[in-house]
Structure 1
Amino acid sequence: MFENLLAAKMANLGTETAFMVLARAKALEAQGREIIHLEIGEPDFDTPRNIIDAGIKALNAGYTHYTPAPGLPEVRATIAEYATRQKGVPYTAEEVVITPGGKPIMFFTILALVNPGDEVIYPNPGFPIYESVINFVGGKAVPIPLREENDFRLDVDELAALISPRTKLLIINSPANPTGGVLTPEDVARIADLVRGKNIFVLSDEIYDRIVYDGAQPVSIAAQPGMKDWTIILDGFSKTYAMTGWRLGFGLMHRELAERIAQLMVNSNSCTAAFTQKAGQEALTGPQDAAAAMVAEFKKRRDIIVDGLNSIPGITCKRPLGSFYVFPNIKGLGRSSQEMEAILMERAGVAALSGTAFGKYGEGYLRLSYANSVENIKKALEKIAAVVKEL
């Protein structure tokens, strides 16, 4: 009805397909269908009790009012201390901006740095909101392919060829959504050598850096010589602490840029809810056993789903080193990614995502989240195998 009255740039704004597929799955469930949810990127665990109690305590203590736009000073200080330990980079409270979820750091960084025509290099397949926001602000989205033969890590030589005088921002994500790929320390050092001194900022999405397996050790590019001031780290609480609904994330960046990102907070959200910030403070300073147990369970599920997928003719699957996703190759099935997404939903009752939901280089793949029970994963594998056999 109002399509012709919208701002032209709204036509450039994409979406996150996982929520659309979730809506279709819920509609089928409302009709009485059984659907196994492997589409949504959300831990199936409850938020640890100590964190919930801290949130309740904060509400009862009056943390129900506005806070400073970049966050409560004591919580910013706690995050800075945590980041200094976890990232191996010294941070102060003034270099932290707390946001309602991790996405605002993504949105605000691109909004603050990218002029129309500026080029932004981003991973493909990758989190779809990267490309969406680049296009929305009028930047030129330049994909760097993540290929299976390179364990879904970017090729640094290929990256070098994509950098131009118009490059303003490089986005990296390790461990990665949707592939689970993890950049090696050598990769990160070479990327830093490539962009250092060229007035190129790096948005480093490190939201999954605590969910790793088999000895993988993600390293932050901010720790490389000369890179801290040119790096914006995106992180948060949703994945590690099963706090997706709390909407609590943060960015780490140069204090001058933090002031600008705080300006964007004032103009959009005003601030992040006070009681969720206090819950997040407890998450970082309290017991870590629940987070560790969740990762151990994810590893168990990863092995089950990878082995199961590799047993299905026409499907092969790398064993990811991080996150809670697998990105199986389905080229041997002779169907497009979107076709297989639809077939699995309608015929198998398994909600999965087409690889193309994460960019054009995702064709020939699916993304499955193993943030579900072992029982449901095994049932989904049986259903997928049965459908594949009938193709």
Structure 2
Amino acid sequence: LNPGDEVIYHEPCYVSYSPSIVMAHGVPVPVVTTKEHEFSLKPEAVAAAITPNTRIIFLNFPTNPTGACASREDLEGIAKLAIEHDLLVLTDEIYSELRYDETNPHVSIASLPGMKERTILLHGFSKAFAMTGFRLGYACAPQPIIEAMMKIHQYSMLCAPIMSQNAAIEALENGQAAMIEMRNSYHQRRDFLVKRLNEIGLDCHLPGGAFYVFPDIRSTGLSSKEFAMRLLEEESVACVPGSAFGDSGEGFLRCCYATAFDDIRTAMDKMEAFVARLKKA
């Protein structure tokens, strides 16, 4: 990026995307995704955000915090725009193994025609293999881009620890069965959590991936931060206000189900009591 170059990304999104663009002297251009479209990114919304200064389209599917997924049709539309406007695509696919609809598997935009040569794919071991503490990820991109990345990488972090690299090899060679078992467990927790949230009166779509749900709490009359803080203080249940993930996240709450099923049940019971008190107030 050169100063003033624009990067299109979709909101609500992971908290570091916009600051990372700014740190690289770029201009963040958020495109709002909505509950009505299950927070997926539509090609027409991307097209409306493209200007002569656009250089990159930044994707994250499945998405943190919404669990949104991208359909092949939408990715093909976005790929067409990238080719037409000669743009790079940066795609964070850290949750790609955690998809729950077997009839609609994950599609990487890098796999589409004409996209391998203009895509930077980011991935890692933290989510699918529960290796968060190992801090190991990787990037796949055309050789000139990787060589440019190495100029910064080799003087800032050198290399991943050998212990982490060996653990990653073990995960790749022997971790598939454990990953599938974990994904199936997440699937059950997701279904339970979405069902309970809707029963409580907090409208929640069924996310297609990752391990987050993103219920709509606007019916309570509280802001996202007020809801999250009061839920924590009054019921000792921790969630993240949707506003942490961009302005378009206001009115929503991120709930993570990467925890024990019994804890999720307890949390939902406590949230039900909390919402019931709000309705009586």
What range is the shorter-chain TM-score in? Answer: over 0.9
Q: Structure 1 residue 367: deviation in Å?
A: 0.2
Matches within 5 A, 1:120-131: 120-131=7-18
Select the structure with the greater relative contact order (CA < 8 A; seq sep ≥ 6).
1
Aligned residue in 1 for 2:25: 138
Residue 48 of structure 1: aligned partner: none
Please give the alpha-carbon distance, in whole angstroms, between the structure 1 residues aligned to 2:108 and 2:153: 25
Q: Which residue of 2 aligns with 1:327?
A: 214
Q: How far is 1:256 from its partner?
A: 1.5
The corresponding residue for 1:161 is 48
Instruction: Give the partner amino acid of 2:42.
Output: D
> Per the alignment, in what secondary structure is the counterpart of residue 172 of structure 1?
strand
Length-normalised TM-score, structure 1: 0.70
Secondary structure of the residue that 2:113 maps to in structure 1? Answer: coil
Matches for 1:183-222 after TM superposition, within 5 Å: 183-215=70-102, 216-222=104-110
Match status 1:369 vs 2:256: yes
262-271 vs 323-332, greater mean Cα deviation: 262-271
Aligned partner of 2:205 among 312, 318, 340:
318
Aligned residue among 252, 259, 269 for 1:382: 269
Q: 1:274-310, CA deviations, whole angstroms, 9 ceiling, x for partnerless residues?
A: 2211221121122411101000000010011111100
1:305 aligned partner, one-letter code: L
CA offsets per residue over residues 206-238 of structure 1, 9 Å max, x none? 100100102231111111111111100010000
Q: What is the distance in 2 between the residues matched to 1:226 and 1:237?
A: 27
Give, in whole Å, the separation in 2 of the partners of 1:340 and 1:125.
18
Q: Which residue of 2 aligns with 1:339?
A: 226
Matches within 5 A, 1:1-391: 114-215=1-102, 216-313=104-201, 315-391=202-278
> What whole-Å deviation, never above 9, does each CA across 1:59-84 have from its counterpart, x for those lacking one?
xxxxxxxxxxxxxxxxxxxxxxxxxx
- Rounded to whole Å, the distance in 2 between the matches of 1:279 and 1:380 is 33
How far apart are the structure 2 equivalents of 1:167 and 1:267? 29
Q: Which residue identity lines up with residue 320 of structure 1 in the other structure?
A: P
Q: Distance in 1 between matches of 2:2 and 2:66?
A: 30
Separation of aligned partners in 2, 1:178 and 1:370:
12
Q: How much has 1:247 moved relative to structure 2? A: 0.7
Which structure 2 residue ranges, 5 or more long, are not aligned? Answer: none
**1:257 aligned partner, one-letter code:** I
Count of residues in Structure 1 that have an aligned counterpart in Structure 2: 277
| CA offsets 1:248-273 (integer angstroms, 9 cap, x no match) | 00001001111111221112001111
What is the aligned-residue identity percentage?
42
The residue type equivalent to 2:118 in the other structure is W
What is the alpha-carbon distance in structure 1 between the residues aligned to residue 247 and residue 229 of structure 2?
18
Q: Distance in 1 between matches of 2:175 and 2:32?
A: 39
Change (3 A) 1:254 1:214: same
Report the Cα distance in structure 2 between the residues aligned to 1:331 and 1:193, rounded to whole angstroms.
Answer: 36
Residue identity opposite 2:265 in structure 1: K
Contact 2:6/2:55 (8 A) holds in 1: yes
Distance 1:290 1:281 in 2: 14
- Give the letter for the 2:200 counterpart: I
Amino acid at match of 1:203: L
Label 1:308 to 1:250 Cα distance change in 2 as closer, same or farther (>3 A).
same
Q: Could you say what secondary structure the match of 2:126 adopts? A: coil
Q: CA deviation at 1:379?
A: 0.5
Please identify the structure whose Cα radius of gyration is greater.
1
Could you tell me how far apart the structure 2 residues matched to 1:235 and 1:255 are?
A: 17
Equivalent position amino acid for 1:389 in 2: A
- Asked if the contact 2:2–2:25 (Cα under 8 Å) also holds between the matched residues in 1, the reply is yes
